[in-house]
């Protein structure tokens, strides 16, 4: 990893080196540029086609000439957003990636997220940094557990959701049945913008419900290039498609009679979800989705901020899982907002190392919330009050990077070797501001980690600290276990695989894990720690943010401790648990 010197991005700098005054003003320019931005995340259950859709959107925006696809498809490359070796090997996304491109006079900031439930914490961080979400639903599987959880998070955060029924080229569920699932299980009213002509597995095209026309697609070799579209009026569509068209028109009229037509206010309020039928791997319906995102999804809006009189919650506070999302956010609910025209501000929602294997640098992903960012400006790090230089700023396109000189609200900027920044931190210019911290999930899997080669302890320690700062895993320590055997805590076991792989590949420090039997974590305090540590089936360790966590074998052990030792502090990390 590149070291930081007094001339590096973390070096103290005087305010005189800040950006020129004209960069700080220009509210009309900021408003105009913010209105051009669309910042959204693509989320789904694993294997619903999320990374494939990300590629297809970039293809239709003409920023790549040929689409990659999920690993294993003959003759096709891995996706540009899946850059980790594990992602390429398994054909799944295990880390979020940002892509920025221009389309139809707009700037699109697209964030691809991990689909696997073990990495849901990374997905949650991304959802804190976007203005809308595209949710993929597999036509054959319908709503799956991870899909339901993500919909609930989006609904709580007030994110408008556009739903894409993907893989309609394969056999699947009935279209009306899928609409019923969305309404009954999620509580969002589906308002299809397109309706399939032909059942799942017989994708002849879609009925454009706004015009009544048929939009038919032509397959391309392996779906690697844009699929040509043909628009036919209703009469010609009926003549060509026969009963398949008649069925589509009948169901379209049924939807209208039931009030399932798009209403922009209801969509922005999180009451309805526009629905598009597509096949991302064939590039069918992708252009419709891209145009819909530009037309319907909101531009950047004012971000809520922490009330300066209330103070900021500590890093790592809260656990946003299902019912706990509301409690975690309510604890730091701000009383005001930061207008997009205000001086520059941004918050860090992700830290990632190892993207550039040649330099082994560390990249902080920050969402611009207000003002204009100018590379080289000196901002203030809200958590420390220290100045922070932004000389090394970059725009990302998956793993590819380019020097970034200007950015506006909605943009995602990459700050290279920003070693002072961690997830949830705020940076700002002129007017002080702090955005609410991003809550951490409650870990359910624990393992002791040790270096295979004790002679490489320096590399081992640096690697563990890096993974901890990125939020890949939580790192817990105690005097009893010692510094050479910390405990890794994770939401899912695949996080351990990522950690061990990166320790070997990036830090040349092979590790071995010893899984522990604990499944529960509760917050405690110093006054209770010693007595808890003496109880059977309980162990107290300290997290890097200073929190003391009591680990227990299972929920029953937690309940028995509550019953037998009511004077001890044992606070739930998830709302509703004892």
Binding-site residues: 112-116
Measured CA to CA, the distance from residue 36 to residue 109 in angstroms comes to: 11
Query: Which residues lie below 8 Å from residue 534, measured CB to CB, with a gap of 6+?
Result: none
Collapsing DSSP states into helix, strand and coil, what is residue 449?
Answer: strand
Of all helices (H) and strands (E), which one includes residue 24? helix 21-24
In this structure, the number of other CB atoms found within 10 A of the CB of residue 108 comes to 24
CB distance 386 to 420 below 8 Å: yes
Tokens of 385: 């009050």
Tokens of 234: 């209703």
Classify residue 373 as exposed, middle or buried by CB count within 10 Å of its CB (0-12, 13-18, 19+): buried
Query: Which residues lie below 8 Å from residue 342, measured CB to CB, with a gap of 6+?
Result: 370, 371, 431, 433
CB distance 313 to 329 below 8 Å: no
In this structure, which long-range contacts are made by residues 13-16, counting pairs with CB atoms below 8 Å and at least 24 apart in sequence?
13/378, 13/387, 13/388, 13/389, 14/378, 14/387, 15/378, 15/387
What backbone torsions phi and psi does residue 337 show, to the nearest 5 degrees? Answer: -125, 165
What backbone torsions phi and psi does residue 378 show, to the nearest 5 degrees? Answer: -105, 120
What burial letters (b/e) apply to 33-57, b meaning 16+ CB within 10 Å? bbebbbbbbbbbbbbbbbbbbbbbb
Collapsing DSSP states into helix, strand and coil, what is residue 387?
Answer: strand
CB distance 420 to 384 below 8 Å: yes
In this structure, the number of other CB atoms found within 10 A of the CB of residue 89 comes to 12
Tokens of 88: 């390429």
Collapsing DSSP states into helix, strand and coil, what is residue 267?
Answer: helix
Q: Would you give the distance in Å from CA 411 to the centre of its chain?
A: 14
Measured CA to CA, the distance from residue 378 to residue 388 in angstroms comes to: 5
Annotated binding site for GTP: 112-116
CB distance 540 to 487 below 8 Å: no
3-state helix, strand, coil split of the chain in percent (to 5) is 30, 25, 45
Query: Which residues lie below 8 Å from residue 381, measured CB to CB, with a gap of 6+?
Result: 387, 388, 420, 421, 425, 426, 427
CB distance 332 to 367 below 8 Å: no
């Amino acid at each position: 990893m590149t070291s930081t010197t007094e001339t590096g991005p973390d070096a103290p700098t005087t305010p005189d080196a800040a950006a020129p005054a004209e960069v700080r003003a220009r509210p009309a320019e900021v408003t105009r540029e913010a209105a051009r931005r669309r910042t959204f995340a693509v989320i789904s259950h694993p294997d619903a086609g999320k990374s494939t859709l990300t590629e297809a959107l970039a293809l239709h925006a003409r920023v790549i000439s040929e689409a990659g696809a999920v690993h294993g498809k003959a003759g096709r490359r891995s996706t540009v957003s899946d850059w980790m070796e594990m992602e390429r090997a398994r054909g799944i996304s295990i880390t979020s990636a940002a892509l920025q491109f221009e389309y139809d006079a707009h700037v699109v900031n697209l964030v691809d997220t991990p689909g696997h439930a073990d990495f849901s914490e990374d997905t949650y961080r991304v959802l804190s940094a976007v203005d809308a979400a595209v949710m993929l639903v597999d036509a054959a599987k319908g709503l799956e557990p991870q899909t339901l959880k993500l919909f609930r998070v989006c609904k709580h955060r007030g994110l408008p959701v556009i739903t894409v029924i993907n893989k309609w080229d394969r056999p699947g569920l009935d279209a009306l049945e899928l609409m019923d699932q969305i309404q009954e299980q999620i509580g969002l009213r589906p308002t299809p913008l397109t309706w399939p002509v032909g059942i799942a597995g017989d994708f002849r095209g879609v009925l454009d419900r706004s015009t009544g026309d048929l939009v038919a697609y032509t397959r391309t070799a392996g779906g690697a290039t844009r699929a040509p579209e043909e628009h036919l009026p209703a009469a010609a569509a009926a003549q060509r498609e026969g009963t398949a068209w008649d069925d589509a028109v009948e169901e379209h009229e049924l939807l209208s009679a039931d009030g399932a037509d798009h209403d922009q206010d209801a969509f922005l309020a999180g009451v309805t979800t526009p629905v598009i039928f597509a096949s991302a791997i064939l590039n069918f319906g992708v252009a419709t989705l891209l145009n819909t995102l530009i037309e319907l999804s909101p531009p950047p809006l004012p971000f809520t901020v922490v009330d300066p009189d209330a103070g900021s919650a500590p890093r790592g506070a809260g656990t946003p899982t299902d019912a706990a999302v509301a409690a975690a956010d309510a604890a730091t609910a701000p009383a005001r907002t930061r207008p997009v025209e205000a001086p520059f501000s941004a918050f860090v929602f992700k830290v990632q190392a190892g993207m550039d294997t040649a330099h082994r640098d560390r990249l902080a992903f920050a969402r611009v919330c207000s003002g204009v960012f100018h590379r080289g400006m000196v901002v203030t790090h809200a958590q420390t009050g220290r100045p922070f230089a932004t000389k090394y700023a970059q725009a990302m396109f998956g793993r590819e990077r380019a020097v970034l000189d200007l950015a506006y609200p909605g943009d995602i900027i990459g700050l290279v070797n920003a070693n002072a920044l961690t997830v949830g931190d705020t940076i700002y210019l002129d007017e002080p501001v702090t955005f609410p911290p991003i809550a951490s999930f409650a870990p359910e899997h624990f393992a002791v980690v040790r270096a295979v080669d004790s002679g490489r302890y320096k590399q081992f320690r640096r690697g563990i600290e890096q993974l901890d700062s990125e939020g890949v895993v939580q790192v817990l320590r105690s005097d009893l276990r010692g510094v050479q055997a910390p405990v890794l805590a994770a939401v899912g076991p695949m996080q351990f695989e990522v950690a061990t792989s990166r320790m070997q590949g990036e830090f040349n420090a092979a590790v071995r894990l010893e899984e522990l039997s604990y499944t529960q974590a509760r917050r405690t305090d110093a006054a209770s720690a010693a007595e808890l540590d003496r109880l059977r089936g309980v162990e107290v360790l300290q997290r890097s943010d200073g929190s003391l966590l009591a680990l227990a074998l299972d929920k029953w052990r937690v309940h028995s401790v509550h019953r037998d030792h009511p004077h001890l502090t044992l606070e739930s990390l998830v709302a509703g648990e004892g």
